[in-house]
Structure 1
């Protein structure tokens, strides 16, 4: 089996994208995997019926024209959102199914543009009576206005990275009764309160929605939202009038704000209690500052609007203590009832793992539901049945994802049952079993640690690949990642350092990096390499040390290659930040200032003095020290709206002009993550071949 064959087999293992309970014993699970022959991602849906001792399943291959579907809270209905290509255009439909019967269907092509299906702007919510549905879609533009009107030429800020061509998310409601279905846009009755871009709607009751609303900055931007839970996003209540299937026109809503302008909110979830009261639960971060910081979780009584419980920001936890919540979103159905009391589950980073925490909605206390048992597995919460059952996936760099069902009989008593195990060839299963996974603290740099993956039977020391995560306020958890595992199976020891600034270690250490990027993070990555060399795990010298990283990870790689030119033998860099002074075109100009310790406001300008400071903090300032005989692979996504292509191009031309060994490959249809099916294969193949060529055997 070639190195590429190994990677492709690992990549084809399905990951679990979503799971919903349709009844106490029936679970609807959506899986996703790359199809390298068709160069696209595929999805499949399994329904699992779980009894005490058996699991029965049915399988449904993907239906390409259904972009998203979801079950109602009762499990009796299924909403399907369909996009059909027809005669060069796209038609859109919303369908409501009851068992095998189409209860309602409406074409929405003329009402709005594309559906939103992501976990930032999208949310599909049935009304409590299950005769209405609210969702998010792209609003129609003003192109159809009078040709003489100048309004249709007004600038509308784009949504940025991950949302090409999208600018105006809006809320739409489908209402149905016997024989008739209508779809209507939701608009503010008082237009002077806007513009507000409403997203993530949730029915609190039949006449009330809770939604997240985004505002433009004073300089008329919508700073990039993807991976950035620190934007001007508030919680709003929208009161709905009586909606009839016979009425015409948009639905006009009255509005009230439920959060402060200093708080960025997301992921609203509604809990209905047995006594008839309801709770709103949502995540919140401070507006501005680092793009990802420790989140708080707020629990609000919907009738009184008073906070009844919360989980606060954790600054400086001890190694074994809860480090705070670090989650972009909550599961679609996150609630449990255990011994008559309400709880919520959430995935969060806990140091170098992701785990599932159980949060009391009465007092905000937190329990690690899936603590590390020594196998260093990372867990992801997919959903609950609203009572005592939870469904999760878990994996590690040596064990691909499996699906588990948990039944909680008490707060600290959960019985787990494996529903799905990964399907692996005998050869691959044997090779994975030979891998050893550990988490190594970096001496003198608390709380920094690195994840180490290697063949447990190999003769040490081994050539080492350091995989550097981006952000910088991201992380490298222990969960399965095909390219990392594939490199380990090629005989490298893998080191994934979680340097200062990584999430999961306390808010203090996120903010500690601000003003010190290019020095503190670089120093800690170097120290992780040195420690593995000193302990005899990794080899030193020519052909022994290699680098992989993208975005801010690519920024660190550029510094490592320039500041420590004799330490590394080759590098694979993806969509890197190489010049902090090059901010034109990015959807996150604030990042370049805040990460350098400079507060950002709508009036901030890049002065000559600031430009000089940012230049000297940038990898581009070290290009002259980069070695001629250290080859660099640079991969660029041509549709990247986060780190503009000029960053990588400037680095490429600077090194080429100095006679350095650099190769650039470009992916025409890729954006910042470089995660298209074609990019996965091409970048891994080029990286593997480069390292194999330079590796000393």
Structure 2
């Protein structure tokens, strides 16, 4: 294949995959007889994804009897929420005015009537509304009279010490606002880092609809930054999560280990702290009975790890543990194995009708599994879709009807519904498909997906086993193989649809995605065993997965065309492999790779991870430890860069707060100095490179770089 036709094939494959929509969420309405689902699809000409609403009406057997004719564009909706009695729908909308200035509105709809529309920007009592997954919320009071949300605290106005102005004015201006503060216009303000840039200090806002008045709630400590708020049952207080900002903010995105508290704040400003000190908490949820549930783990340590599910009974003062931290494995109903809770949040609605059972979805080894949990006895039952190997994520529950999204590497996410069986019979659950599949490329649909469960011979390590997921397309002859460790490091690959994996399959590339030791979904001991062994356990696991494949079948994989592919910490592992085993790999693609723990820690938003992964307790007190700096350098791939021979393509984000771009630039400079073919792409994007222009370019150029060098 010549270069032009090769590139054309890659572009066409990407365009085909870009038309496949992704499930964002869904809501059950009318006791579960109607589904309002939210989707996203890449719009290449616009350079961003379009979000749309699509509705289904079901009969008692969950057959679709009516559905939307077309999707309804909701791309300018930041948040939306249907009221408890389904009387109203609230929407936070963002638009541009005639001068192209951003404006935000709170709208409340009753059927086809716009009953309230409030220009939040014009009110000028707070900054932008938070719509992210860490802080954002839009929640109704039970009586449907009020809405609570989170926004940026309004800053006072600042001015220079020497600004010339007219005659002296009174201390307050005519609007009642304080006059500008002098000399603070350049005062440094730290935000919450990666993908939360511009978020400094949040406030809780309650809107009373009858009078269309919005008020900022007071009463939290100045150093607390609140989010994830919701009304209590009586509507006289809100409950939420508050993160401590002192002595400084560490990045929140993908980091569940930050000091935080569950609090109750009355509308007249009386605050009560509910959770204990020394904990990192998230996702508070009220049951129909008024009991409060949330997820928690200890502060510090790995960025993500196993969580407890705890409960504070209505009227009680002491919490009880519903699901505890699972160190290795827990046998649950039906003899199934359960490895602990690793989800970032509980479903917005997660309780059955009587409030005695709770639903959650969490990574478990190679899949996302869904469970029903008895809140009193703690009995856990797997209710995942077992019709095919897949990941099952619960989206909503209403009147004991469950809505979920299911997908695997060969099948994009689709909506399923099921009726929750009675207590004790949950394993008999029957899932029914609701949505229709769009066309799937034959190369993806026909690919073979295999779980690999691997173990090292017994040695001194406490944990010796790990897993991997192989995706093998049908090709003529032997397939090139992409070795692909995940980022994190404390995250994991699951058998769910992936644009990148599908693209590789369409191009005839097999991929092995490695859940090395340190990954989530295999017990908390597995997560924590990597600490102090970064650059060792993870690298050894990738090598074992690779050699197991190559030794097991000489006719399937082309051992002369092995590819390294990884982003973030996955780039850390692949760069290690390229430096330690330069003779094995033909080509490498790195996206915002972590190259040197010793220098990343000085500038990254989550600098604590550098010390922790190297085996030290993170502290910025006292003298800088030269021993720690040396240990972090020695376990980093920069120590082996002089050995690398694989032509390397780096994709970097100029706005990356998690792994600052200079990590990749330094690596590239050294590769070039050593004569290694190297190319750098720089995107005006953050760590994820997920804006559509950045994604399009880096996936196409990365694939083209791989195919170019496999042919050489």
The two structures have a TM-score, normalised by structure 1, of 0.92
Alignment of 1:586-625 (within 5 A): 586-603=604-621, 606-625=624-643
C-alpha spacing 1:308/1:598, structure 2 compared with 1 (3 Å)? closer
Q: Select between 607-616 and 145-154 the one with higher mean Cα deviation.
A: 145-154
SS at match of 2:527: helix
Q: What is the alpha-carbon distance in structure 2 between the residues aligned to residue 522 and residue 372 of structure 1?
A: 33
Q: Over residues 397-434 of structure 1, what are the superposed CA-to-partner deviations in whole Å (9 max), with x where a residue is unaligned?
A: 11111111111123223221111122116xx2x33332
Q: Over residues 429-456 of structure 1, what are the superposed CA-to-partner deviations in whole Å (9 max), with x where a residue is unaligned?
A: x33332111101124274311101113x
Q: What is the alpha-carbon distance in structure 2 between the residues aligned to residue 170 and residue 499 of structure 1?
A: 40
CA contact (8 A) 2:501 2:511 kept: yes
Which residue pairs with 1:292 in the alignment?
A: 304
Q: What is the alpha-carbon distance in structure 2 between the residues aligned to residue 603 and residue 648 of structure 1?
A: 29
SS at match of 2:115: strand
User: How far did 1:61 drift?
Assistant: 2.6
Which residue pairs with 2:284 in the alignment?
A: 268
SS at match of 2:136: coil
Q: What is the alpha-carbon distance in structure 2 between the residues aligned to residue 686 and residue 605 of structure 1?
A: 44
User: How far did 1:484 drift?
Assistant: 0.7
Which residue pairs with 1:381 in the alignment?
A: 394
Alignment of 1:415-430 (within 5 A): 415-424=430-439, 428=441, 430=442
- For the pair 1:41 / 2:74, whether they are aligned, the reply is no
SS at match of 2:548: helix
Q: What is the alpha-carbon distance in structure 1 between the residues aligned to residue 611 and residue 146 of structure 2?
A: 45
CA contact (8 A) 1:21 1:75 kept: no
CA contact (8 A) 2:228 2:284 kept: yes
- For the pair 1:328 / 2:344, whether they are aligned, the reply is yes
User: How far did 1:308 drift?
Assistant: 4.5
SS at match of 1:529: helix
Q: Over residues 15-63 of structure 1, what are the superposed CA-to-partner deviations in whole Å (9 max), with x where a residue is unaligned?
A: 1111112212111111012111111011000121111333411244324
Q: What is the alpha-carbon distance in structure 2 between the residues aligned to residue 644 and residue 384 of structure 1?
A: 41
The two structures have a TM-score, normalised by structure 2, of 0.90
Which residue pairs with 1:248 in the alignment?
A: none
- For the pair 1:194 / 2:222, whether they are aligned, the reply is yes
Q: What is the alpha-carbon distance in structure 1 between the residues aligned to residue 262 and residue 339 of structure 2?
A: 25
User: How far did 1:341 drift?
Assistant: 5.8
Which residue pairs with 1:496 in the alignment?
A: 513
Which residue pairs with 2:82 in the alignment?
A: 71
SS at match of 1:119: coil
- For the pair 1:575 / 2:592, whether they are aligned, the reply is yes
- For the pair 1:408 / 2:435, whether they are aligned, the reply is no
Unaligned runs of 5+ in 1: 242-252
Q: What is the alpha-carbon distance in structure 2 between the residues aligned to residue 135 and residue 502 of structure 1?
A: 34
Which residue pairs with 1:17 in the alignment?
A: 24
Q: What is the alpha-carbon distance in structure 1 between the residues aligned to residue 321 and residue 245 of structure 2?
A: 30
Q: What is the alpha-carbon distance in structure 1 between the residues aligned to residue 558 and residue 49 of structure 2?
A: 39
Q: What is the alpha-carbon distance in structure 2 between the residues aligned to residue 479 and residue 128 of structure 1?
A: 36
Q: What is the alpha-carbon distance in structure 1 between the residues aligned to residue 623 and residue 348 of structure 2?
A: 40
Q: What is the alpha-carbon distance in structure 2 between the residues aligned to residue 380 and residue 73 of structure 1?
A: 23
C-alpha spacing 1:378/1:267, structure 2 compared with 1 (3 Å)? same
C-alpha spacing 1:613/1:539, structure 2 compared with 1 (3 Å)? same
User: How far did 1:309 drift?
Assistant: 4.7
Which residue pairs with 1:247 in the alignment?
A: none
Q: What is the alpha-carbon distance in structure 2 between the residues aligned to residue 371 and residue 461 of structure 1?
A: 34
Which residue pairs with 1:638 in the alignment?
A: 654
- The one of 692, 698, 702 aligned to 1:677: 692
C-alpha spacing 1:141/1:307, structure 2 compared with 1 (3 Å)? same
C-alpha spacing 1:632/1:283, structure 2 compared with 1 (3 Å)? same
Which residue pairs with 1:183 in the alignment?
A: 214
- The one of 8, 16, 19 aligned to 2:15: 8
Q: What is the alpha-carbon distance in structure 2 between the residues aligned to residue 409 and residue 524 of structure 1?
A: 41
Count of paired positions:
663
Q: What is the alpha-carbon distance in structure 2 between the residues aligned to residue 378 and residue 654 of structure 1?
A: 41
Q: CA RMSD in A?
A: 1.9
Q: What is the alpha-carbon distance in structure 1 between the residues aligned to residue 321 and residue 198 of structure 2?
A: 40
Q: What is the alpha-carbon distance in structure 2 between the residues aligned to residue 413 and residue 341 of structure 1?
A: 20
Q: Over residues 233-278 of structure 1, what are the superposed CA-to-partner deviations in whole Å (9 max), with x where a residue is unaligned?
A: 110011223xxxxxxxxxxx111111112111111111122xxxx1
Q: Over residues 479-530 of structure 1, what are the superposed CA-to-partner deviations in whole Å (9 max), with x where a residue is unaligned?
A: 0001111212222221011100000000001110001101110111111110
C-alpha spacing 1:548/1:625, structure 2 compared with 1 (3 Å)? same
Alignment of 1:241-320 (within 5 A): 241=268, 253-273=269-289, 278-317=290-329, 320=336
- The one of 117, 131, 134 aligned to 1:105: 117
- For the pair 1:139 / 2:153, whether they are aligned, the reply is yes
Q: Over residues 448-490 of structure 1, what are the superposed CA-to-partner deviations in whole Å (9 max), with x where a residue is unaligned?
A: 11101113x5466421011210010010111000111121222
CA contact (8 A) 2:288 2:351 kept: no
Q: Over residues 309-367 of structure 1, what are the superposed CA-to-partner deviations in whole Å (9 max), with x where a residue is unaligned?
A: 51110001179510001111111111113xx5622211101111111111111222211
Q: What is the alpha-carbon distance in structure 1 between the residues aligned to residue 181 and residue 506 of structure 2?
A: 64
SS at match of 2:209: strand
CA contact (8 A) 1:296 1:310 kept: yes
SS at match of 2:602: coil
Which residue pairs with 2:163 in the alignment?
A: none
CA contact (8 A) 2:308 2:321 kept: no
CA contact (8 A) 2:616 2:628 kept: no
SS at match of 2:286: strand
Which residue pairs with 2:40 in the alignment?
A: 32
CA contact (8 A) 1:142 1:152 kept: no
Point out 4+ residue stretches in structure 1 off by more than 4 angstroms: 150-154, 457-461
